[in-house]
Structure 1
Amino acid sequence: MLDVHRLRVFRSVVASGSVQAAAANLGYTPSAISQHLTALQRETGLALLARAGRGLRPTAAGHALAAEAERVLARLGAAESLIADLRAGRTGALSIAYFASVGAAWMPLVVRHILSEHPGVRLDLQLREQIPDSREERADIQVVVARSGFDPGSGFTAEHLLDDPYVAVLPAGHRLAGRTEVDLADLADEGWVDNDFARGWCRDNLIEACTAAGFSPAFRVEAHDYPTALAFVAAGIGPTVLPALGAAHLPSGVTCVRLVRPTPMRSIHTVVHDAVEHAPAVRTAVAALRAAATAVGPTR
């Protein structure tokens, strides 16, 4: 079994680039650092470091072990934090991942509800658009956009929360601004403001809807997020089309109009780790997310 302390020393050497720097960072003598490295290489049977001038550089095997050591030590740190919480009488930690528009529209109230019910819980909030491939990197709860009936993976359970329709946000005085709804094709000749720099699922969904309406949107300018896109609309640059949750907080000088024929839609789900689904804080968090979705309404 690998010695965790030697892994920490090795990671410090790789990060700092030399035995002397690692010794200074860790408060050890260079001789002690060298002894730990020699023992680790003997323990693994691998050449992990090579000379590079006055310093050291990891070999290919060293790079691989350093990356894995980072993950192992992070998980060990999380376990140590949990033990400290339990010893102090706190209820432990809860990690929640969510995407940006849910963060602005739902998470402040969700977090307030969790902390009012469980004041001792330590929250780890993560802004994340995709579900990580690695189980170890996944949060206890993640709010995701996905197609209905998607597979969340073994050991996780998905629950549908809301179908979030897309809307058109138009500058004040736009020719369509006075309508209660517009056909998606009515925007075919407009110069759009793009709002999905990541080119994620939400944008793909919108492009599919435009294709179904018989056109491809002409993007005039690209924004990296919804608030910036809305600011561009308010400046009169052009319309943008985004999910209704992203239009929850509109700046002055714009108006929001429902889209029809077709109405692009994204489905929002929670994904809960089965190992923690019965934990009180998890149940409170999921209930708060359900309440937030219900308050918005299933179809606007």
Structure 2
Amino acid sequence: MLDPHRLRVFRSVVASGSVQAAADNLGLTSSAVSQHLSALQRETGLTLFHRAGRGIVPTEAALVLDARTDDAMSRWDQLDQVVADLRDGRSGRLSIGYFASAGAVWMPSLVQRLRKEFPDLVLDLVLTEVEQHGPAPDIDLVIDPPDHPLPGGYRRTELTEDPFVAIVPRGHHLAERGSVALAELRGETWVSNDYPRSAGHRLVVAACSAAGFRPRFTVQAQDHHTAIGFVGAGIGVSVLPGLAARSLPATVVRLTLEAPAPVRHLAAVVRDLGAPHPAAERAVALLTDLIHHPSARIRRAVPG
């Protein structure tokens, strides 16, 4: 079995590029780092580094080992943290993955409530819209249709539907309409507000295709806040989730999209932790309450 500490030393050498730099980062001597590398090479039977001038360079085998141990080391670090929590008397951990608009609108109030009800709970929050290499969170807020397949050991709780809306500059000729058909935006310059491979972006492009056109994106903002700024500056229009358009500057106008309009199906995918986890169950219940009672969410977010 590979020694996790030796793997950490090895990964530090690969990341920092030298034995001395790894020693400085880890608080070890360069001799100790070299001994760990030699021991790891004996354990694995692999040549992990070769000489290059006065330094060393990782071999192809070392680069593969480094990449393949990302998940394992993340899980080992997580186990280390569990032991530390138990030793220090903390009641446990809960990891929650979220997407950007949920992070802005729901997560602050949710975390506030959870910390109040579970003061010893350690919360790990991670933005999961981009590719993640670590372990999957205990609760993951997702943008997937109800029939999307779940990984083994997970269950899904539906949260809400989130229709997309259009935003246009305040002086735009459609600004006074209140609502607009997606097809009426055919000839407009569009500002993207999400990653091209994201679920939300694909929903918008598919809806436009169904309406008989493909949007002409000239600005790749890839996040809602920046896209709203571009629209406010008169660069173009954007179609974004209603959740991301809750608070808008005076420079833009929100328009309802007439049916048929793209809709995000938002859900919480919860890991079966193998034993009752009161904080996880309570997190989902609180989130449902915060979504369906927005006025209560605003009141509860105010201290006192």
Task: Normalising by structure 2, report the TM-score.
Answer: 0.88
AA aligned to 1:52 is A
Q: What is the CA deviation profile of residues 74-100 of structure 1, one whole-angstrom value per residue up to 9, with x for unaligned ones?
A: 322221222222222212221111111
* Aligned counterpart for 2:237 among listed residues 236, 239, 248: 239
Tell me by how many angstroms 1:25 deviates.
4.0
| DSSP-derived class of the 2:166 partner | strand
Q: Distance in 2 between matches of 1:9 and 1:196?
A: 38
CA RMSD of aligned residues (A): 2.3
Question: Where in structure 1 are there 5+ consecutive unaligned residues?
Answer: none
| DSSP-derived class of the 1:158 partner | strand
* Aligned counterpart for 1:205 among listed residues 203, 209, 220: 203
Aligned position for 1:5: 5
Q: What is the CA deviation profile of residues 28-71 of structure 1, one whole-angstrom value per residue up to 9, with x for unaligned ones?
A: 44443333322222221221221111111121222222234443
Aligned position for 1:159: 157
| DSSP-derived class of the 1:166 partner | strand
Question: Where in structure 2 are there 5+ consecutive unaligned residues?
Answer: 296-304
Moved more, 20-29 or 273-282: 20-29
Aligned position for 1:65: 65
- Please say if 1:266 is aligned against 2:233: no
Aligned position for 2:278: 280
Please tell me whether the aligned partners of residues 196 and 202 of structure 2 are also in contact (alpha carbons under 8 angstroms). Answer: no
AA aligned to 1:195 is N
Q: Distance in 1 between matches of 2:89 and 2:258?
A: 53
Aligned position for 2:79: 79
How many pairs were matched up? 295
Aligned position for 1:293: 291
Please tell me whether the aligned partners of residues 50 and 57 of structure 1 are also in contact (alpha carbons under 8 angstroms). Answer: yes
Please tell me whether the aligned partners of residues 196 and 203 of structure 1 are also in contact (alpha carbons under 8 angstroms). Answer: yes
Q: Distance in 2 between matches of 1:295 and 1:70?
A: 40
AA aligned to 1:3 is D
Aligned position for 1:35: 35
| DSSP-derived class of the 1:275 partner | coil
Tell me by how many angstroms 1:24 deviates.
4.2
| DSSP-derived class of the 2:287 partner | helix
Tell me by how many angstroms 1:27 deviates.
4.3
Q: Distance in 1 between matches of 2:13 and 2:131?
A: 32
- Please say if 1:109 is aligned against 2:92: no
Moved more, 238-247 or 272-281: 272-281
Aligned position for 1:168: 166
Q: Distance in 2 between matches of 1:95 and 1:243?
A: 25
Q: Distance in 1 between matches of 2:18 and 2:263?
A: 54
Tell me by how many angstroms 1:118 deviates.
0.8
* Aligned counterpart for 1:143 among listed residues 128, 141, 144: 141
Please tell me whether the aligned partners of residues 192 and 227 of structure 2 are also in contact (alpha carbons under 8 angstroms). Answer: yes
Please tell me whether the aligned partners of residues 171 and 235 of structure 1 are also in contact (alpha carbons under 8 angstroms). Answer: yes
Q: Distance in 2 between matches of 1:8 and 1:42?
A: 16
| DSSP-derived class of the 2:162 partner | strand
Tell me by how many angstroms 1:267 deviates.
0.7
Q: Among the aligned pairs, what percent are the same residue?
A: 49
Please tell me whether the aligned partners of residues 74 and 135 of structure 2 are also in contact (alpha carbons under 8 angstroms). Answer: no
Task: Normalising by structure 1, report the TM-score.
Answer: 0.89
Please tell me whether the aligned partners of residues 75 and 135 of structure 2 are also in contact (alpha carbons under 8 angstroms). Answer: no
Tell me by how many angstroms 1:104 deviates.
0.9
Q: 1:102 to 1:51 in 2, by over 3 A?
A: same
